Chain A
Amino acid sequence: MAIFKVNGQSVQPEKNQKLLRFLRDELHLTSVKDGCSEGACGACTVIIDGKTCKACVPDTDSLDGREIITVEGLTEWEQQVYTYAYGKAGAVQCGFCIPGMVMCTKALLDENMEPTDDEIRYALRNNYCRCTGYVKIMDAVRLAAKILKAGEIPDDGDPNWTLGNRVARIDVEEKVLGYGKYPDDFYLDGMLYGVALRSKYARARVLSIDTSRAKALPGVEAVVTAEDIPGENKIGHLKHDQYTLIPVGSLVHYLGDAIALVAAKDRETAEKAIKLIKVEYEALPHVHTIEEAAAPDAPKVFDEEENNICAHKHISRGNAEEAIRNSKYVISHHFETPWTEHAFLEPECAVAFYDEDGDVFIYSTDQSAHQTLHECSLLLGTDKVKVQNALVGGGFGGKEDMTVQHLAALLTYVTKKPVKVKFTRAESLLVHPKRHPFYMDMTMGCDEDGNIMGVKASVTSDTGAFASLGGPVLERACTHAAGPYHYENFEIEGTAYYTNNPPAGAFRGFGVTQTCFATETLLNMMADKVGITPWEIRYRNAIRPGEVLPNGQIVDDSTGLVETLEAVKEDYDAAMAAGKPVGIGCAMKNAGVGVGIPDTGRVKLIVEDDEKLHIYSGASCIGQGLGTVLVQMIVTNTDIRQEDIVYERSNTWISPDSGTTSGSRQTLVTGEACRRACEKLMEDRRAGKELKDMKGIVYYGEYLAKTDPLGANVPNPVSHVAYGYATQMCVVDPKTGKLDQIVAAHDVGKAVNPLSCEGQIEGGVVMSMGYALREQYPIDENCKPIQKYGSLRLFRSHEVPKIKAIVVDKPGLKVACGAIGIGEITSIPTAPAIADAYFRYDGIRRYSLPLVSTPYERKG
């Protein structure tokens, strides 16, 4: 057996295993994150003899005599430097990649105190980050180098924590040093490991399940099938059509449907037991495409449904048909966008156990603890359930549905013991809902000056094996297909089809990423027809305060589309004057759920025994920085200092339900609830109360973002309480054909933290560069996704072009101190801007994503 050193201590593993497993499971060095265990993500990067190395790769037996360093082994000075540099630079979002990035930083700076920008890009390039777009991580490396050289950390004085200031996030230290806990970092006494048996076929009927051999395997504590579910088998976000376990006699809907669960003393035993379960299937023909799903004699994905239509929307205002008929210029085209995988760095994981109240307690990584509570209660047939958010390693919409939480809860319910269920990366790629692929046919009519007269469209989407949020995504795709422009005649029809592919659901942009590509591309084509620039046609059509959107809503004073266009003008003109290929796109995105659906933010502020003000809100921070937003909101609206405020992660028994982290809504909706709680608190403060006098008092704030339903019989319905607006432009290097620069200007109302806003913009832009240029999630004819994490072709640090993030403040929104969420819109106008830049580069119009014939195109 090998003997080697870990953080200076000599160790000798008892059995040969992957270094990652030894560091995490035996030494509990949980800064070393398990993001894929297949060498792709880099979250487990450690330093071996001065070189970075992914800990999931080497076997411990091969490490005799080596010296290994993890983040836990940094000197105190290094810990301070990296915490300061990463915080100051705004490099930390979800944090899951950060310890690995810190290791890369250390390995580089230990050898080279004055790295060039290229050397920094290369030092990070084998590690993925899905949140930041790498820009601010590279800033952090530069800053760390400077501090290490100077030998002291700059004194920034007392930072101003009010709204509008670039403060370091509150969760930087725990994420940089790796002591903050994601669910996988919990190791409870006597904890079992749960694994699911997934279907062998995409569509089949389960005829029988024999678990006897699995049950007999030593170390197995439980084998669970549908019969063992105490409550409802079928759960789901809105529609309850997601089977937890497929019962005998029922249809399997996709390869990710679970048939049985095993809980065993360790993961290996559980996986062995899974293979011993015998399932008899009647394999049936499956539905793989929208065309197959829509065919009159199509096999049905659900026994319970009449056909394969999940949702249908028809939206019409004015008379689009007639307006187009009377237009001078008319362009029609067909567009297609692909499946996209969220690829958050942290795979799904949940840990459940019985707490001292006899409740099933779940540590979860999700976008709403209350949603998890609701669905798990339904499944278990009891409300004796508690959910506590751990840190969430990225979501982007992909952690809105139940994936592991309910399985861990069920296994704990059956075994009465703590159970961890953690997806392998392959399971994660298969199971959680993806971004919908869309087929779109769109027609636009304009007058001789380029004023849009009308738009008519028909779109279809593949929502896969269960509804998830397929209906709302389709609806948002349809409502926002009109674009942020002031015209009246708009008609769209949309249909979402069930297939036996993996499910599709929420994904940053929520349908708008897809239809925006079609609308904005048509507008770029129209500009050429009219003979004006794509910038000019947008400036002429742009919605301005007081005008009416195609959905009938009169927009308020915070509407800043024009300002975002003006913000990119200088760069746009400069690129045009230099003869560079430049493309542009605009977008709008709602903040808040809207369209008449109850959308409530709730916050409790409680002074606890430590005489600090604790923030309790059932709103998940998934890496976007909600905790910091709420702290800044309180500092701005009260006289309480930042050091006296504690942000508590969302839970379900103290924190009131503040809705899902979705629809760019938390900054506005929960932010306003927080502001209202501050008003109540200030009444006591003005009466002279000190924090010590306020112990135990609950200051409760609630805000209902009231909107009108679609089709409401009012002249100007308020579909959403607020919209963010954006203009992004892309410059292609005429020599290399690669991206040279992206300029992204975003109207956010009031920027709570401009540093965080920039981070969101850079991350959103890089994510959508992938969507535009090369990411794919191919599904083969057996409805099986074929890519691994490392071959999704997410952008890497050395491939990212210059990104100029411009934050535009535009007051006017009367709630949440004017702050409008920015989470999704950062990803929306990128693809059409890039597509147009490539058209200017080579004269080829591209109507589907990812774009073909660019240097980024996937080979082979």
Chain B
Amino acid sequence: MAVKKKFPYKAAIVSCNGGCRAVKGEAGCSEGCIGCGACVDACKFGAISLNEYGVAEVDESKCIACQKCTKVCPQEIIHIHECANYIVVKCSNKSKGAAAKKQCEASCIGCGICEKTCTAGAVKVTDNCAVIDEDACLSCGMCSVKCPRHVIHDLRGIFTPAR
């Protein structure tokens, strides 16, 4: 760890895949990261950068969960989570299935496969987007493996590629 942190470790997570890069503008997603860089500027630890898709991404080894970024994000899509919960939903799109599909190539369409798959009852589709209850999640990754849209990520890079 680059920064001294208290266990259980927490870090910020950006709930966006950056998949709508292909269809920006009016047809794009209105809930996702807009690449404004406010979080990058706000972070004193250099833990956030914009990735190759122009979307904010957190380096958990540098983040101390100070919440500066969550406060400045105009889209309100940065959250604090426990690092031990490495299965995360990287989407905030609230549009219905067909619309969500059009807006982004990696959007949650609210199909509910994750909810049906989850043995722990930890995933719920809320406002057309999957949400994981971290207290109940067993981090098995079954939802991540089954997600047809590759919205649910394994931050360790086992079930989904590390970014």
Contacts and interface: CB of A to CB of B under 8 A. Distances in A.
A46 B142 CA distance: 15
A62 interface: yes
A695 interface: no
Given A51-B156, A122-B84, A790-B138, A38 B7 contact: no
A388 B139 CA distance: 37
A62 B156 contact: no
A351 to B, nearest CB: 26
Given A40-B138, A40-B140, A58 B158 contact: yes
A62 B157 CA distance: 12
B121 interface: yes
A790 B138 CA distance: 8
B119 A49 contact: no
Interface string B11-36: 00000000000000000000000000
B113 interface: no
Interface string A423-440: 000000000000000000
A582 B53 CA distance: 56
Contacts of A125: 84
A331 interface: no
A42 B139 CA distance: 10
B145 interface: yes
Contacts of B158: 48-49, 51, 53, 58
B120 interface: yes
Interface in A31-53: 36, 38-40, 42, 48-49, 51, 53
A788 interface: yes
A59 interface: yes
Contacts of B118: 790
Nearest to A116: B7
B7 A39 contact: no
A126 interface: yes
Contacts, number: 64
Interface residues of A, number: 28
Contacts of A57: 140-142, 145, 159
Contacts of B124: 860
A519 B158 CA distance: 52
A515 to B, nearest CB: 31
Contact of A791 (B7, B84, B120, B140): B120
Contacts of B141: 39, 53-54, 57-58
A393 B136 CA distance: 25
A118 interface: yes
Nearest to A54: B140
Interface string B105-145: 00000000000001111101000000001001011111001
A40 B119 contact: yes
Given A40-B120, A58-B159, A122 B140 contact: no
B132 to A, nearest CB: 13
B8 A39 contact: no
B121 A62 contact: no
A119 B119 contact: no
A790 B84 contact: no
A53 B124 CA distance: 23
A119 B8 CA distance: 8
Interface string B32-49: 000000000000000000
Contacts of A53: 141, 158-159
A57 B145 CA distance: 7
A58 B141 CA distance: 8
Contact of B138 (A39, A59, A62, A859): A39
Contacts of B133: 859
Nearest to A425: B119
B7 A119 contact: yes
Contact of B119 (A38, A48, A51, A116): A38
Contacts of A39: 119, 138, 140-142
A53 B133 CA distance: 20
A302 interface: no
Contact of B142 (A38, A51, A118, A791): A38
B120 to A, nearest CB: 4
Contacts of B136: 791
A49 B120 CA distance: 25
A700 interface: no
A58 B158 CA distance: 9
A126 B138 contact: yes
A648 B111 CA distance: 53
Given A58-B141, A116-B7, 4 more contacts: A39-B140, A53-B141, A58-B145, A860-B124
Interface of B: 7-8, 84, 118-122, 124, 133, 136, 138-142, 145, 156, 158-159
The 8 closest A-B pairs by CB, nearest first: A39-B140, A790-B119, A790-B120, A791-B121, A40-B119, A39-B142, A38-B119, A788-B119
